[in-house]
Chain A
Amino acid sequence: MASTTIDAAATPPTPTAPPSHEVVDRTNRRWALGFAIAALGLWAFYKFALESMPGGVQDAFQTWLPLTAVNEAIVWVICAIGLNIVVGYAGLLDLGFVAFWAIGGYCAGWFMSFFLGQYDITFHFLSAAPPTQSGIHINWWIVLAIAGAVCAFFGILIGAPTLRLKSDYLAIVTLGFGEIIPQVFVNGEDIAGFNLSNGTKGITPLDPITALPVGPEAVSRPLGPFDLETKYLLFALIVAFCVFVSLRIREGRLGRAWLAIREDELAASMMGVPLMRSKLAAYAVGAFMGGLGGVVFAIHVNGVFADRFNFSISIILLAMVVLGGMGNVWGVMIGALGLAWINSTFLPKLGETVNDALDTEINFPSYNFLIFGSILVLMMLFRREGLFPETRTRELVQEPERTELEDMHADLEGDVR
């Protein structure tokens, strides 16, 4: 079917293939619809159906799939989608993504609590906090935007000096940042006399959130700690936003540049793609979503605590992206939901069940290191494309990186600066 003559005029016109973007659009629409239905179904189930179920079923759900675990999993999903932009789309290994999660969380801590009241700052804006309370209290939707912007800024700040580095050096440098930033928060109780983070005591509680800043009582009432169903819906909306942004950018000019960089940096730059700017953009967009995740997590646990931000979060996020299928946002969502659930609910509950039944004392949660480590290793060895691969990724990762031809022409492998 491929025409093999150079002369176009000599080739009889063949029917043109369906444009690839239309196929992609159709697939995405199907996935989006599936997820939307599942998400709404889950909400309706918890909101209306669960109460009328027999006690045994209720207990089972409370044990194995409590809504709070679902909400926590959503936080992971948001961050994993952000990391997917960096790792999956642009092919840059980031081992310090937890930094953005932390920064986002502290944005919530600073702008949605009494905390900055210690410096006699009082500012209220569309917040559900009592108007008499000191500190900065901004509506959480706005805080989301702020946190995203701050994280994007930090993403660029971190990326600008380091994105020139070779991929593996970049991994190490991001890892370094992922260690430094949480340490700043842990030690942040007294930075030259300034209390940045309240140290390990953390900042808690945060302002209650509202679905909408104004409007009838039904949508503007502050959500209490037990109003998990509404929070679930709101968090799911943020996921939808992240997915939407991912997909849109992916199909546009910037997305093409990312893919090109992932495949062949040198060729991409020779085709007019600015490497630094495109990579920085990937960092910024990814970090933006990390910031959203940070805020949502802070709201979910009603506070920010410095010692929660450790290296293993970065690695678990990476495992989610790798398991789901680098580059495929739907696969990444599934990977993140699954692993988050295993981490938060399945391992501890399985441990309790087994230990009760057999009268043993096996520490099941400690197996998460083994599980996440094995996922990374096994997936890389046997199924690099992930469980739900995007066709491109599947073929890309199966491909040896340096072909013989490229080795022969190593003279082209100079540094692009």
Chain B
Amino acid sequence: MSTAQPAAAGVAPGAGGLALDSELITVRFGGLVAVRDVDFTIPEGSIVSLIGPNGAGKTTFFNVLTGLYKPTTGRVFLQGEEITALPPHIIAAKGMGRTFQNIRLFGLMTAEENVMVAMHPHLRSGVFGTVIKSRRQRREEREGRETARELLHFVGIRGVEGEYARNLSYGDQRRLEVARALALRPKVLLLDEPTAGMNPQESARFVDFVHRVRDERGVSILLIEHDMAVVMKVSERVTVLDRGEKIAEGSPAEIKADERVIEAYLGKTGTEGSAR
């Protein structure tokens, strides 16, 4: 089950409608336009990558999707429901899970607790119920804990559920971030440079893992990624941003051949990514 699935074997793009749809997103900081008029969609059940040179506006765009920034203009829809400029926690609760480029776990909470934090929107117990430990609260906690363990095992964390997150190995921390995001029961999972700091073998395994998450958890996935090998292997569609604008979109093969993309990467005097 863990072998790499060819991209085409996944859910056909567009078959189930759009998991995420953003229309004409523009983000302006003072005079600076970080993102300009970006239309972007994630078909239901697909894996999409967002690439581009540094400073292209990828992270800004991510932050718009998750509600951290309000777009100056434009709208975002999650499975047809408008989520533009809602507070981050509501967007998260509606089904937008994310990981962070520079791992942001709750270091002094256990792996299990980290996952349980993200169940917050799905748990119901209030102050009073918690204090008297009502039957419902007990059941909810028990089930939450079981779900957390199940998620941890799913991402491959076993035996260290009770360790503080900061004491986990780097790889486990990356996995824990995914488990935590999955606890939100997301419709869309955003992975921000998930292979940063991984060696080629780990990256290759990661590609399998992403497919497994999509297939078994039924989420659509958006990655920001710098490692072109990973991008080409994992994604069904690729969108390229450069200086805040979308310059290309298509299958990995199309992107590889796109003039403007090559120019965007190589035209810059070797700052990054050009070797790939």
**Which residues of A are in contact with B by a Cβ distance under 8 Å?**
1-11, 13-21, 23, 244-245, 248-249, 252-257, 259-260, 263-264, 266-275, 281, 285, 391-393, 395-396, 399, 405-406, 408-409, 411-412, 414, 416-417
Contacts and interface: CB of A to CB of B under 8 A. Distances in A.
B108 A16 contact: no
Nearest to A277: B89
A285 B69 CA distance: 31
B159 A409 contact: no
Contacts of A253: 116, 119-120, 123, 125, 130, 140-141
14 contacts: A9-B1, A13-B158, A17-B160, A249-B127, A254-B126, A256-B116, A259-B117, A268-B117, A270-B68, A271-B117, A272-B93, A409-B101, A409-B102, A411-B63
Nearest to B34: A411
A5 B205 contact: yes
A406 B100 CA distance: 11
Contacts of A414: 63, 68-69
Contact of A20 (B63, B87, B110, B158): B110
B41 interface: no
A416 B2 contact: no
A264 B102 CA distance: 13
Contact of A411 (B2, B59, B66): B59
A273 B117 contact: yes
Contacts of B68: 266, 270, 412, 414, 416
Contacts of A248: 130-131, 133
A17 B152 CA distance: 13
Nearest to A392: B108
A16 B130 CA distance: 26
B2 A7 contact: yes
B104 interface: yes
B257 to A, nearest CB: 31
B241 interface: no
Given A395-B107, A395-B164, A411-B59, A272 B158 contact: no
Given A2-B160, A10-B2, 13 more contacts: A2-B159, A6-B155, A6-B202, A16-B159, A253-B130, A253-B140, A259-B108, A259-B113, A260-B117, A263-B109, A272-B121, A272-B184, A416-B88
B153 A8 contact: yes
Interface of B: 1-2, 59-60, 63, 66, 68-69, 87-90, 92-93, 98, 100-102, 104-110, 112-113, 116-121, 123, 125-127, 130-131, 133, 137, 140-141, 145, 149, 153-164, 166, 168-169, 171-172, 175, 180-181, 183-184, 202, 205-206, 208-209
Nearest to B204: A6
A45 B137 CA distance: 40
Nearest to A267: B104
Contact of A267 (B106, B160, B205): B106
Nearest to B168: A2
A267 B106 CA distance: 8
A254 B92 CA distance: 17
Given A2-B160, A17-B160, A266 B104 contact: yes
A414 B64 CA distance: 11
Contacts, number: 190
A417 B91 CA distance: 13
Given A270-B98, A273-B117, A414-B68, A259 B160 contact: no
Contacts of A267: 100, 104-106
Contacts of B59: 409, 411-412
B169 A2 contact: yes
B86 to A, nearest CB: 11
Contact of B156 (A5, A263, A275): A5
Contacts of B149: 16
Contacts of B63: 411-412, 414
B156 A8 contact: yes
Contacts of B120: 253, 256-257, 271-274
A392 B137 contact: no
B154 A8 contact: yes
B205 A6 contact: yes
Given A256-B116, A264-B106, A17 B162 contact: yes
A281 B127 contact: yes
A120 B181 CA distance: 61
B87 A9 contact: no
Nearest to B105: A267
A264 B177 CA distance: 14
A391 B109 CA distance: 10
